[in-house]
Amino acid sequence: MCRWLAYTGEPVFLDELICKPEHSLVAQSLCAVEAKTPTNGDGFGIGWYGERAEPGLYREVLPAWNDQNLASLAHQIRSGLFFAHVRASTGTSSSRPNCHPFASGRWLFMHNGQIGGYLRLRRRLEALIPDALYDRREGTTDSEILFLMLLAEGLETDPLGALARTLAKVTEVMATAGVTQPLRFTSALTDGRSIYALRYASDDRPPSLYWRSGDAGGSGKAVSIVSEPLEEPETWQALPAGEVLLVGPDRQIRFEALDLHAWAAE
Amino acid sequence: MCRWLAYTGEPVFLDELICKPEHSLVAQSLCAVEAKTPTNGDGFGIGWYGERAEPGLYREVLPAWNDQNLASLAHQIRSGLFFAHVRASTGTSSSRPNCHPFASGRWLFMHNGQIGGYLRLRRRLEALIPDALYDRREGTTDSEILFLMLLAEGLETDPLGALARTLAKVTEVMATAGVTQPLRFTSALTDGRSIYALRYASDDRPPSLYWRSGDAGGSGKAVSIVSEPLEEPETWQALPAGEVLLVGPDRQIRFEALDLHAWAAE
Amino acid sequence: MCRWLAYTGEPVFLDELICKPEHSLVAQSLCAVEAKTPTNGDGFGIGWYGERAEPGLYREVLPAWNDQNLASLAHQIRSGLFFAHVRASTGTSSSRPNCHPFASGRWLFMHNGQIGGYLRLRRRLEALIPDALYDRREGTTDSEILFLMLLAEGLETDPLGALARTLAKVTEVMATAGVTQPLRFTSALTDGRSIYALRYASDDRPPSLYWRSGDAGGSGKAVSIVSEPLEEPETWQALPAGEVLLVGPDRQIRFEALDLHAWAAE
Amino acid sequence: MCRWLAYTGEPVFLDELICKPEHSLVAQSLCAVEAKTPTNGDGFGIGWYGERAEPGLYREVLPAWNDQNLASLAHQIRSGLFFAHVRASTGTSSSRPNCHPFASGRWLFMHNGQIGGYLRLRRRLEALIPDALYDRREGTTDSEILFLMLLAEGLETDPLGALARTLAKVTEVMATAGVTQPLRFTSALTDGRSIYALRYASDDRPPSLYWRSGDAGGSGKAVSIVSEPLEEPETWQALPAGEVLLVGPDRQIRFEALDLHAWAAE
């Protein structure tokens, strides 16, 4: 089901979060403890903001624990906002275009979850992607469809509304098709300035999500959002199901309850 | 634009055609002479019939000249009917699902050519794949769409009609969209018994295709069909544009002129 | 620490053992239960005998559970003698030349274990490989050194003696260097006719090894040797530490106690 | 035989040299014009200096023209000193540890050339690597041996002497073994501050090397050193055979004739 982390704050070398902590994301790729599957070895990816408005992207099909390039890049690259993701495939093939995060312009997206009945619904879901965005589809995952739908639903100007409308539409397609499996969607979005993290499921088992806010070496506020605590579990807080955690450019934190219907209606 | 070969006859080790000849398919991956691009290093694939009705498949994103697994498999596997393909991408990414040949049930398909304006037409072309086949789409190439359309158009019972109807439909989509780039389609199909090889282009530049028929070590008839002669060029014959070369289970050869309109109308 | 299997008997499709059983080797790559590490995702390999005296070889750095080529090859290839291996690296990098099995002429070798202090001893161990064999070293593992030493010690004419002499020499190098970590060596060798499987450790924790002999579909005797039972655990027998299981071309089974000193002295 | 480039000057995005010029290094990977082989598709690598004393490293076995990660990294990473290399194997396998550049501490090395008779001499050459450095050998190339020898010969304190002594020793091994094939060695070294580029061959065919010095966007001096001019060939100068081009931390340029004997004797 995948594990991921997002960070914003004073620039840090990526390996400080991805590789070094006792239960780092790389450690979670080999042995996650709160995921449906302990092994998240079907590829991985990192996306980070440096000197350009658009993020850099490195995605690979090898397991994260086994990639020397990841170790070197994470040791070398310093960033004030980055995403990282380790993948456990829920059926689609291991290829770089199926690895997270996904990028479009200045936006990054990553996802932990699944659209119930996806293989059967795939075509109907793809139909929700407008023509103008369809040629950005490079892979076959439900996650990439969700990202392209978010872009179509106004992600760039109304991220929360886009989230609600996208999930509402997917829910409708699932209902129409009589799918009884749940929609699970614990995800993160960023434009390189703010982060929007959502923990959501249509049943009572949303994939885990934790966050921590604090001083980053005394030089300013930092916020980390993770599938599983990287270390010192008592210092992390679980995000309640159905909530969006918003981190602004000033790293101020705000919470919003996701309301598919209200937002969708706007 | 890719290079390929097809063989049917007495079982031979695959490397006899793929690796050993002076201008073998592996040699063509590094330095083709009749292709738009000399280098065909964006992955490769082999499909062969052994003891099952369905073919075996090995596809990889590395260049063919550089893959020790290919060398070992081609040296070890003996088959009386096989396909091999080296890829030069025309825009879509290098991933295994984008490599040829494509397989479905007992059928194999491979392709050298391009649908003009594909990136713009992709969605309209995908719409021609019926629901029941759509979940077999694993990649993003025009070639895979063509194969799924062929299956939808009755490949299993009427291969020539399926070819004509598929090309007619694609031509219509291109015309409707005002695409002026050509449709080029030099391809091979097999059900493990017969081979159907077509050299086609909507302009006057169909990708090259040659064939040779003869004794395979004196023990029976063999037919090889190749993008470029493997050796002794004078022993190969070019297939005229617009013609289908049919090789039956008894390796008897027959030619048919492709008539998009007549066949399509049937 | 790796998991492996060896089979000899009536030809079977490889996936009958590698993919289909409940606790198949592919299942063990994701979740082994008797290994030091549950995950064996650092590459894999298969070697099999077909129509040539030399085996075919397919090795890849992806996890075995995630490789569609493996699924297709194992479904297509039928063999009366094959090896398969899933790797958990003990420090050396993930590259195809570091994956098992290793091949030389008609011989195959695979290994589960470790030379204690290897990184420190590597050079001294490499020095035990004679010049004539040294250019076959393509990777950096201790396993490959052991195979080349076995070849040097007379594997082709005296497999048991070669095993004893190789382990005796490695033990001596370790002792001279003051290494206190154990030598563990649970391995299999074959020339395409007989199989030699050894479960050995210098301490009391040799990697697990089981075997089963029986009718293969009623058509003859078959012997399977595995790191972990593939199914129905009660039908498998553990090989005692320090013993070699020999399976002859007629699939008759014989056991020999390994005596490093006696054999080494011959 | 490989192609490479080195840059020092005002920080630039790597793609300005690696991807964008008409005859960029990526273009050379597909179609070099002054190399023994036009195709340099057997892997590639980049090494760059950022915020740490040690360089970052990204090496991959895919062709450079076909790697989206390279495109993204080169577009995102800005550096004032970097190396990039595209590989045409001269016999050793395609694996990441066989790709250039090679790194050790703050040093980077890359190479275009070949030790004549390498496969036969490999062991004798490896014997020249001292024990303390031997465990850094991860691959099987002659280039990696040369780098480890350079380190052993005092690269860190006397780069020119280390070059001369290393080549002198290799030459001696070749002579002793009666090798008549040439030693070709067009290479670059850096400690992250200075660059040492050498064009050398024991015969009269040293691999090509060019350099250009000038303003980088008006903001300071920049020096580029390349196997083949990236654009505007008339603005590049060929480095004479047997010469070392030294670029200091201030980007001042100096030339030294390589004298194996004199330097070796120091």
User: Phi and psi at residue D118, in whole multiples of 5°?
Assistant: -55, -45
Check CB contact of C53 with chain B, cutoff 8 Å.
Answer: no
Q: By the 8 A CB rule, do C232 and C89 touch?
A: no
Residues 6+ apart with CB under 8 A from B32: B3, B38, B39, B40, B227, B228
**Residue C69 pLDDT level (bands cut at 50, 70, 90):** very high
Check CB contact of A69 with chain C, cutoff 8 Å.
Answer: no
3 state SS of D222: strand
Cis ω for the linkage preceding B159 (within 30 of 0): no
Residues of B in contact with A131 (CB under 8 A): 123
Percent of chain B with pLDDT over 90: 89
Gap between the Cα atoms of A99 and B164, Å rounded: 38
Question: What is the tens place of the pLDDT at every residue in D165-189?
Answer: 999 999 999 999 999 999 999 999 9
Kindly state the average pLDDT of the residues B89-115: 93
Biggest distance spanned by C-alpha atoms of chain A = 53
- The residue of C54, C69, C83, C99 whose CB has the most chain B CBs within 10 angstroms, and thus the best one to mutate to test that interface, is C69
How far is CA C133 from its chain centroid?
20
- A19 carries an active-site annotation: no
Confidence at residue A89, expressed as pLDDT on a 0 to 100 scale: 87
Gap between the Cα atoms of C230 and C130, Å rounded: 39
Gap between the Cα atoms of B44 and B29, Å rounded: 9
Closest partner residue to C39 (CB to CB) among A39, A89, A93 is A39
Check CB contact of A60 with chain B, cutoff 8 Å.
Answer: no
Q: Which of A253, A206, A208, A210 is nearest to A231 (CA)?
A: A210
| Whole-number CA gyration radius for chain D | 17
Residues 6+ apart with CB under 8 A from A20: none
Residue D183 β-bridge partners: D115
Count Cβ atoms within 10 A of the Cβ of residue C218 and give its class: 0-12 exposed, 13-18 middle, 19 or more buried: exposed
Confidence at residue B106, expressed as pLDDT on a 0 to 100 scale: 97
How far is CA B69 from its chain centroid?
22
Check CB contact of A134 with chain B, cutoff 8 Å.
Answer: yes
Check CB contact of C137 with chain D, cutoff 8 Å.
Answer: yes
Kindly state the average pLDDT of the residues C39-44: 95
Confidence at residue B260, expressed as pLDDT on a 0 to 100 scale: 80
DSSP secondary structure string, chain A?
--EEEEEEEEEEETHHHHTSSTT-HHHHHHH-SSSSSS---S-EEEEE--SSSSPEEEEESS-GGG-HHHHHHHHH-EEEEEEEEE---SSS---GGGSSPEEETTEEEEEEEEETTHHHHHHHHHTTS-HHHHTT--S--HHHHHHHHHHHTTTTT-HHHHHHHHHHHHHHHHHHTT--SPEEEEEEEESSS-EEEEEEESSS-PPP-EEEEEESTTSSEEEEEESS-SS-GGG-EEPPTTEEEEE-TT--EEEEE--HHHHHH-
Kindly state the average pLDDT of the residues C71-79: 98
Read off the amino acid at residue A39: T
Tell me the shortest Cα–Cα distance from D61 to chain A, in angstroms. 12
Helix (H) or strand (E) holding D12: strand D3-13
Confidence at residue D262, expressed as pLDDT on a 0 to 100 scale: 62
Opening angle at CA B156, ends B154 and B157, nearest 5: 75
Closest partner residue to C63 (CB to CB) among A38, A63, A93 is A63
Check CB contact of A93 with chain B, cutoff 8 Å.
Answer: yes
CB contact under 8 A, D59 and A69: yes
DSSP label at C50? Answer: -
Gap between the Cα atoms of D243 and C188, Å rounded: 54
Residues of C in contact with A61 (CB under 8 A): 62, 66
Residues of A in contact with B122 (CB under 8 A): 134-135
Closest partner residue to A57 (CB to CB) among D57, D58, D72 is D72
Q: CA torsion D178→D180→D181→D187, rounded to 10°?
A: 70
Read off the amino acid at residue A246: L
Q: By the 8 A CB rule, do A177 and A120 touch?
A: yes
Question: How many CA within 13 A on the CB side of residue A114?
Answer: 23
Gap between the Cα atoms of A74 and A17, Å rounded: 9
Which residue on chain D is closest to B62 by alpha carbon? D62
Which residue on chain A is closest to D74 by alpha carbon? A56
Q: By the 8 A CB rule, do A85 and A101 touch?
A: yes
Confidence at residue D266, expressed as pLDDT on a 0 to 100 scale: 47
Tell me the shortest Cα–Cα distance from B72 to chain C, in angstroms. 6
Gap between the Cα atoms of C116 and C119, Å rounded: 9
Residues of A in contact with C94 (CB under 8 A): 62, 66
Kindly state the average pLDDT of the residues C147-171: 97
DSSP label at D86? Answer: E
Chain B partners (3+ C-beta pairs within 8 A): A, C, D
CB contact under 8 A, A93 and B97: yes
As given in the structure block, the two tokens for residue B258 are 């492709």
- Across all residues in chain C, what is the average pLDDT? 94
CB contact under 8 A, B96 and C68: yes
Closest partner residue to A94 (CB to CB) among C31, C42, C66 is C66
Closest partner residue to C58 (CB to CB) among B52, B72, B96 is B72
| B213-227, C138-152, C241-255: range with lowest mean pLDDT | B213-227
Helix (H) or strand (E) holding B102: strand B102-104
Q: Which of C107, C126, C131 is nearest to C170 (CA)?
A: C126
Q: Which of A187, A160, A21, A5 is nearest to A82 (CA)?
A: A5
Better-predicted residue by pLDDT, B119 or D18: D18
Gap between the Cα atoms of D121 and D140, Å rounded: 12
Q: Which of A196, A170, A193 is nearest to A183 (CA)?
A: A170
* Residue B196 pLDDT exceeds 60: yes
**Residue B266 pLDDT level (bands cut at 50, 70, 90):** very low
End-to-end distance of chain B based on CA atoms, in angstroms?
32
CB contact under 8 A, B73 and C68: no
Tell me how crowded residue C164 is: count the other CB atoms within 10 A of its CB. Answer: 24
Crossing angle between the packed helical segments B118-126 and B159-176, to the nearest 10 degrees: 120
CB contact under 8 A, B122 and A135: yes
Question: How many CA within 13 A on the CB side of residue D129?
Answer: 19
Which stretches of chain A score pLDDT less than 50? 218, 265-266
Tokens 């993770």 identify what position? A226
Q: By the 8 A CB rule, do D211 and D251 touch?
A: no
DSSP secondary structure string, B62-76?
S-GGG-HHHHHHHHH
Gap between the Cα atoms of A73 and A15, Å rounded: 8
Check CB contact of B160 with chain C, cutoff 8 Å.
Answer: no
Tell me how crowded residue D180 is: count the other CB atoms within 10 A of its CB. Answer: 9
Check CB contact of B82 with chain C, cutoff 8 Å.
Answer: no
Q: By the 8 A CB rule, do D110 and D48 touch?
A: no
CB contact under 8 A, D30 and B39: yes
**Residue D220 pLDDT level (bands cut at 50, 70, 90):** low
Chain D partners (3+ C-beta pairs within 8 A): A, B, C
Q: Report the helix count and the strand count for chain C, using DSSP H and E.
A: 8, 13
Tokens 């035989």 identify what position? D1
Gap between the Cα atoms of B94 and D61, Å rounded: 13
CB contact under 8 A, B63 and D61: no
Gap between the Cα atoms of B265 and C16, Å rounded: 47
**Residue D134 pLDDT level (bands cut at 50, 70, 90):** very high
* Residue D250 pLDDT exceeds 50: yes
Check CB contact of B61 with chain D, cutoff 8 Å.
Answer: yes
* Residue C112 pLDDT exceeds 70: yes
Kindly state the average pLDDT of the residues C188-211: 97
* Residue D237 pLDDT exceeds 50: yes
Q: Which of A135, D66, D72 is nearest to B140 (CA)?
A: A135
Tell me the shortest Cα–Cα distance from D177 to chain C, in angstroms. 14
Kindly state the average pLDDT of the residues D191-195: 98
Q: By the 8 A CB rule, do C111 and C143 touch?
A: yes
Confidence at residue C266, expressed as pLDDT on a 0 to 100 scale: 46
Closest partner residue to A76 (CB to CB) among D52, D60, D69 is D52
